Structure 1
Amino acid sequence: MDHRTFYEEYKSFLFSVAYKMLGSVKDAEDIVQDVFVQLEKMDISSLQDPKAYLTKMTTNKCLNLLQSARKKREVYPGPWLPEPIVETMVNEPLEQLLKEESISYAFVVLLHQLTELERCVFLLREILSYDYKSIAEILRRSEQSCRKVFSRAKRKLQENINAPKATKEEVHQLANLFLEAVDSGNFEPFIDQLSKDVVLLSDGGGKVLSAMYPIYDKHRVAAYIRGIHKRGTFDGELSLIHVNGEIGILQRRQGKPIKILTFHYTKNGIENIYVVMNPEKLNKIGHNYSF
């Protein structure tokens, strides 16, 4: 197998690994490119398990990047949310990965509530089905240490992972309810779908006006949505889009992306509303992703 064939076979898989680790499309693309640039200097025919080797390279590069960017994340203005993947811009292999793997937006948000190490171990074990011996070799840690890290990560995510999921049809209906509410000004049908413990997170990155703190519980979230609607926050063109394999809402003004809304919806109602407004996380819309 030559380097080009190697690249075509593994690029989308490695992008999905890097994206889950980093929550950034650009950084994930850069990591994968860096992996293959490094690979061009190697004799790939000598690799006994290419996928495992590439996964190790990718995860280690992600961990290095996360550690170097930690201080920047710590002073990020307001809530930090992952960069959404708008599926009209992806190629066929990545689109297939979005359908097959746990790469939903809500899941990626959850992953980023873990530490870098917890996230890495959880992905390798739970999503990629690596055994502890392989994980230990990748991360240069003992198997016992990796088991403890995985157990800790699993406990943190357990409640959300086990929550009964809504169907795609239900999420589609919910998004339409929101569009109808914006159009009519009557948010009651949408608000009725909020769980009592709903949380709204808005990421403006300090570049646009957004809620600087999470908004908790049904009454506060309802009041916030009604308030910003009255101020014209949702003026412009609103349309349904596919975000990370699920239905979301894109707002544009004069063709320019303003925000993306996604909903984490379980059988208990809307548990989370994510609003991405940071222009740097919307600038891929209208352009094809590399992977």
Structure 2
Amino acid sequence: MTRSEEFQELRPLLFSIAYRILGSVAEAEDAVQETWLRFGASTTRPTSTKAYLSATVTRISIDVLRSARVRREAYVGPWFPEPLLADPYEDPERSAELADSVSMAALLLLERLSPLERAVFVLREVFGFGFQEIASAVERSEGACRQLAVRARRHMDEGRPRFEADRREREELAERFFDAFKEGDLDGLRELLAADVQMVGDGGGKSPQWKPITGAGNVARILAAIVPPFVRIGGVVEAHQVNGQPGAILRDRDGKILNTLALDILDGRVQTIRTILNPDKLAHMGPVADAWAILREANRARRRPL
């Protein structure tokens, strides 16, 4: 097998490691590309290509994350990871860990960890690497990596949301939610929302943005008011998994992406709605709509009689 073939075979794993460390599709793709350049420039053949490439992409991602943290401190409004519609890496033996670790809620928890803690947690808890491999990847002793893993696991467990185990129930509730969502069914929405539900948007100062909205009544009223006019002007609500959780992509009449929605569901109710409108975070998914123009057109449609 050639170097290129080996790399392509491992590319999904490398991207998945980098994305969980960085929370950015674009930065993860750049980290994977840099890993390939270093692999191609190396004059020696590693004993384990998987170990070498995983260590390389981890080190690159840690460096990128350290500089990204500074930028995120100056971010306008709430910061969310870039939405991921499909994780390219599959491992039946670790499917539960992979699905949980890519959710918006889990990635936001990972933001609380130091870059080293985050890398160690991802390699150990998500991908099942041994501490010897992790120590080589992060250039720390095995003992230090074990301590980092313990601290990271404690921080994650303290804030980890407990999603319902039954994926089918989540999908059925999400289907009912989006039916009510598209119809502007106020009562139907309120019935599916937790009493203390929160809706939060990430516009990054580049799209229409609202302050976090809390409470089933408030969230239901907002959704019932804004979605029907959007549909009336040709907008489409496309149900889709977003970061491994029930969600949707909203598109304009030309198919351009307006935003994504991701739902956290617990105890048979929607607990959190996270929407991403920042065009910079949507560009990897395709052409992005002009959110301001859509808002103006939807407002005009709302004022017109049916």
> Could you tell me the TM-score, scaled by structure 2's length?
0.80
Which position in structure 2 is the counterpart of 1:195?
Answer: 194
Q: 1:8 to 1:259 in 2, by over 3 A?
A: same
State percent identity of aligned pairs.
32
SS in 2 for 1:40: helix
- Partner amino acid, structure 2, of 1:170: E
> Does structure 1 retain, via aligned residues, the 8 Å contact 2:245–2:264?
no
Partner-residue secondary structure (3-state), 2:194:
strand
- Aligned amino acid, residue 126 of structure 1: E
Shift of 1:8: 1.6
Instruction: Say which one has the larger Rg.
Output: 2
Cα distance, 1:159–1:264 mapped onto 2, change above 3 Å: farther
Partner of 1:29: 29
- 1:10 offset after TM fit, Å? 0.7
Deviations, residues 75-128 of structure 1 (Å, cap 9, x unaligned): 1011111111224xx8xxx26469932354333333234332221111111112
Q: Secondary structure at the match of 1:129?
A: coil
Q: Which residue of 2 aligns with 1:4?
A: 4
> Which segment is superposed worse, 137-146 or 257-266?
137-146
Distance 1:13 1:201 in 2: 30
* 2:144 is equivalent to residue 145 of structure 1: yes
Describe the shift of the 1:3–1:132 C-alpha distance in structure 2 as closer, same or farther (beyond 3 A). closer
Q: Distance in 1 between matches of 2:247 and 2:183?
A: 19
What's the CA shift string for 1:138-185, capped at 9, x where partnerless?
222233332232222212221555725243322222222232223332
Looking at structure 1, the residues matched to 156 and 218 of structure 2 have their Cα atoms a distance apart, in angstroms, of: 29
Separation in 2 of the partners of 1:47 and 1:19? 24
Distance 1:58 1:104 in 2: 18
Q: 1:270 to 1:76 in 2, by over 3 A?
A: same
Partner of 1:79: 78
Structure 1 segment 1-291 matched on structure 2, within 5 A: 1-43=1-43, 46-87=45-86, 94=88, 96=90, 100=95, 101-102=98-99, 103-106=101-104, 107-159=106-158, 161=160, 163-212=162-211, 214-216=212-214, 218-219=215-216, 222-227=217-222, 229-231=224-226, 234-235=230-231, 236-254=235-253, 255-267=255-267, 269-286=269-286
Q: Output the amino acid matched with 1:226.
A: R
How far is the alpha carbon of 1:21 from its aligned partner?
Answer: 0.9
Superposition deviation, residue 268 in structure 1:
5.6
- Preserved CA contact (<8 Å) 1:247 1:262: yes
Determine helix, strand or coil for the equivalent of 1:165.
Answer: coil
Residues 115/192 of structure 1: CA separation in 2 closer, same or farther (3 Å cut): farther
- Following superposition, the deviation at residue 24 of structure 1 comes to 1.1
What is the one-letter code of the residue matched to 2:11? K
Rounded Cα–Cα distance in structure 2 between residues aligned with 1:202 and 1:268:
23
Looking at structure 2, the residues matched to 182 and 265 of structure 1 have their Cα atoms a distance apart, in angstroms, of: 16
Instruction: Give me the whole-angstrom Cα distance separating, in 2, the residues matched to 1:81 and 1:118.
Output: 19
Higher mean C-alpha displacement, 133-142 vs 30-39: 133-142
CA distance in 2 between counterparts of 1:187 and 1:159 reads: 34
Structure 1: runs of 5 or more not aligned:
none
Spell out, residue by residue over 1:5-48, the C-alpha distance to the aligned partner (whole angstroms, 9 max, x if none).
1122111110000111111111111111111111111245x311
For 1:231 and 1:247, locate their aligned partners in 2 and report how far apart those are by CA, in whole Å.
Answer: 20
Could you list the runs of 5+ residues in structure 2 that have no partner in the other structure? 288-306
Please tell me the residue identity of whatever aligns with 2:279. P
- Structure 2: how far apart are the matches of 1:282 and 1:86? 11
Kept in 1: contact 2:35–2:53 (CA 8 A): yes
Alpha-carbon spacing, 1:115–1:215, altered in 2? closer, same or farther (3 Å): farther
Distance in 1 of aligned mates of 2:103 and 2:230: 21
Q: When the two structures are superposed, what TM-score results if normalisation uses the length of structure 1?
A: 0.84
Q: Distance in 1 between matches of 2:91 and 2:256?
A: 28
Alignment RMSD: 2.6
Would the alpha carbon gap of residues 12 and 190 (structure 1) be closer, same or farther in structure 2, given more than 3 Å must change?
A: same
Greater alpha carbon shift after TM alignment, 253-262 vs 184-193: 184-193
Q: Deviations over 1:207-241 (max 9, x none)?
A: 011134x444x34xx40442354245754211112
Cα distance between partner residues in 2 of 1:174 and 1:267: 11
